[in-house]
Amino acid sequence: MFGKKREQDLDKAQQLMIEDQLKARGIKNEQLLQVMGQLPRHLFVHPDQHNLAYSDKPLPIGQQQTISQPYIVAHMTELLNLPADGNVTVLEVGTGSGYQAAVLSQLVKQVYTVERILALAENAHDVFKKLALTNIKQTVTDGGYGWSNHAPFDRIIVTAAGPTIPPPLVDQLADDGVLIAPVGGRNNQQLIRLTRQGARIQHENLTAVLFVPLRGEHGWQK
C-alpha cells in the first residue's frame, strides 16, 4: 500500500500530466481528460517505475514491450472519434500493459483486446480485475487476425507498428467505423486513420510516431 505522501505525489503527477502533457498539446475531449485524470496509470507499470508512470515518455513493461506515453494514448483515443454516448465496440490489437484498453473501457460499451504474449495478457487481466473493469474481453493470439468472432467493430486501434494495416482488421471494421494504426518501417511510422463508408475506405496520414513492432503473420516476422 502507498503511504499518504506517496499517494499525494502520484495524484499531483497525474494532474500535471493532464495539464502539461495533454491539454497543453491540444487534447480537448473532456470525457477523455476526466478518465485519464482518474485512472491509476501507475498500476499498469512495474512498482519500481510508479514514480515515472505519469511522465512524458513510454516505459518498458517487459517482453521488449512498452506502455505508450500518456499523450500518445490520449491522441490515438481522440482520433477514434468516439461518440459521446459511448455506444460502440472497440477492438484493440496489442493489449500490452492494459492501460489503453482501460482508458477505452471508460468511454465505450465494450472493449475487445488481443495480445500475443501470454505474460502481458495475464498481467493486464490482473489489473482489470483489481479495477473492476468488467467490459473488457481478452484473448491471446496473433493480433493481426483481429477477433472475427466478435466482428464487426465500430472502432479498431492498433498499438504496435506493422509495414501495412493487416487486411483482416480492415475486413472487421464496421460500416462508418474508424481504424487507427501506426504503419511504416521499424524506426519511423505514421499514424494512419481509415474510415469506412460502405465499400468506400478513406485513408488519412496523420502524426509521425514510433511504436514497437507488430509481430505475427501480418506484421514483422522477426
Cβ-defined contacts of 7-10 (< 8 Å, 24+): 9/51, 10/40, 10/42, 10/50, 10/53, 10/54
User: What number of CA atoms fall less than 13 Å from residue 64's CA on the CB side?
Assistant: 8
Indicate which residue of 55, 68, 97, 105 is catalytic. Answer: 68
Query: Residue with C-alpha cell 500475443?
Result: 116
Contact of 13 with 53, CB cutoff 8 Å:
yes
Q: How far is CA 173 from CA 74, 90, 139, 144, in A?
A: 21, 10, 18, 13
Q: Is 68 a residue of the active site?
A: yes
- What amino acid is encoded at 216 in this protein? G
Instruction: Choose among 200, 201, 189: nearest CA to 76.
Output: 189
Catalytic residue positions, numbered: 68
